[in-house]
Amino acid sequence: MSRLNYHHLYYFWQVARQGNLTQAAQKLHISQSALSSQIKQLEKSLNVELFTREGRKLTLTESGYHAMNYADEIFKNGEELEQLLTTGTALPSAPLRIGILSTISRNFIDQFIQPLIQQNDCRFSLQSMSQTGLLNAMAELQLDLALTNIPVRSASTNNWQSRVLARQPVAIIGPPGLALTEEFGESYRHQRWVLPYGENPLRAAFDAFAAQYHLLPEIVAESDDMAMLRLLTRDTGALAVMPPVVVKDELDSGELKSYMLLPNVYENFYAVSAQRRVVHPKLGMLLRPLVDE
C-alpha cells in the first residue's frame, strides 16, 4: 500500500494557494524545477492529475480541488496542534465541542450559543446525549463542555468543574383565556396537566406543591424531554409546569400564557467541564451567568 507523502502534499498545497508555481517556489525557497518535480511525484504516487498545465498556467483539476480542501484541513489542524503542544493553548479557530443533555430546553441552548453564532471565526459542534454519555465523553476528552440541568458531583476519578449558568423560575403555563388567578387557588383544582416525568427536580417540586395544597392533578401526559413537553402543552390545551424559556416563542406570540410562578422553584442550567491543561479560548466568554439570580 502506498503512503501519502505529506511533504509533497505541502508543496502542492502551497502552489494551489498561490496559484502560481514561481511565487510558491520563492516562498518555499526552492527552485521552480524542484517544486514541479515534487508535485509530479505526488501525482504519480496517487495516480491522479492535480493540475492541468497550459504553458505556465496551472489550473486545479477536480481531484486537485478535492485534494486542496483536504490539505486545507490537514495543515490548519497541524498549525493548531503545534500551538497546542508548544504553548498549551488552542487556537480560537479550533472547533469547540459542546455536549448537551438530550432532554434540555432547546431555547436555552439557542440562547447560550448566541455569542458563537455572532462570531465568524468560531466553529462549534453540538452533540446530544444522556447524562452518562456526557460525562463519559468528557472523561475521554471528546468534549470541551457539557450543558445539563442535572447536578454533577465530583467523582474520585474525575474532578468535574460544574457551575450554574442560569437559574430559571418555573411557571404554570397553558392556553390563554383560562380563568386562573396569579396565586394558587380553587381555579387550579379541576385542570388537566402535562408534567415532567420521573426523577425530574421540577416534577418533585410540583408534587410537593400539589401535596401542600391537597391538589389531585388530572395528568394528561408526562415526558422527560422539554421539547416534547413544549409540544404537548401547545397541542393538548392542558396546563404545564416548566421554565418560561422553554416556550418563549409561544409566549411571545400569545399562543400560550404564563399564569403564575411556583414560589421558590427554579431550574438550574449547569456548564460542566473537566480539569485539563488545555482549555479552548472561546470558553471564557460562554461561561458566565445568562440570567441574574
* Model pLDDT, residue 87: 63
Measured from the Cβ of residue 125, the count of other Cβ atoms closer than 10 Å reads 11
Rounded Cα distance between 20 and 33, Å, is 13
Amino acid at 258: S
Q: Which residues contact 238 (CB under 8 A, 6 or more apart)?
A: 174, 191, 192, 193, 194, 220, 221, 232
Which triple of cell numbers denotes residue 241? 409546569
Question: 1 pLDDT exceeds 60?
Answer: no
* Model pLDDT, residue 261: 92
- Name the pLDDT band for 24 (thresholds 50, 70, 90): confident
State what percent of residues in the chain have pLDDT above 90.
20
Instruction: Transcribe 118-139 into DSSP letters.
Output: T-TT--EEEEEE-HHHHHHHHH
CATH class of the domain at 96-165+270-286: alpha beta
What would the mean pLDDT of 270-283 be, rounded to a whole number? 74
User: What would be the CATH architecture of the domain defined by 6-87?
Assistant: Orthogonal Bundle (1.10)
Amino acid at 120: N
Q: Return the CATH number of the domain spanning residue range 167-265.
A: 3.40.190.290
Rounded Cα distance between 235 and 228, Å, is 10
CA distances (Å), origin 164, targets 26, 99, 146, 186, 292: 54, 16, 12, 36, 11
Query: Which of 28-32, 97-101, 263-267 has the highest average model confidence (pLDDT)?
Result: 97-101
Partners of 273 in beta bridges: 161
* Model pLDDT, residue 72: 82
CB 126 within 8 A of CB 100: yes
What would the mean pLDDT of 182-209 be, rounded to a whole number? 86
Question: 188 pLDDT exceeds 60?
Answer: yes
- Name the pLDDT band for 88 (thresholds 50, 70, 90): low
* Model pLDDT, residue 292: 40
Question: 12 pLDDT exceeds 50?
Answer: yes
The residue ranking higher by pLDDT, 79 or 261, is: 261
Q: Is residue 55 exposed (0-12), middle (13-18) or buried (19+ Cβ within 10 Å)? A: exposed
Rounded Cα distance between 77 and 94, Å, is 8
132-141, 157-166, 242-251: which range is least confident on average?
157-166
Question: 155 pLDDT exceeds 60?
Answer: no
Tell me whether domains 6-87 and 96-165+270-286 share a fold. no
Mean pLDDT rounded to a whole number for the chain: 83
The structural domains of the chain, with segments of one domain joined by +, span: 6-87, 96-165+270-286, 167-265
* Model pLDDT, residue 80: 66
Give the chain's end-to-end CA distance (angstroms, integer). 61
What would the mean pLDDT of 115-135 be, rounded to a whole number? 86
* Placement of cell 466568554 in the chain: 285
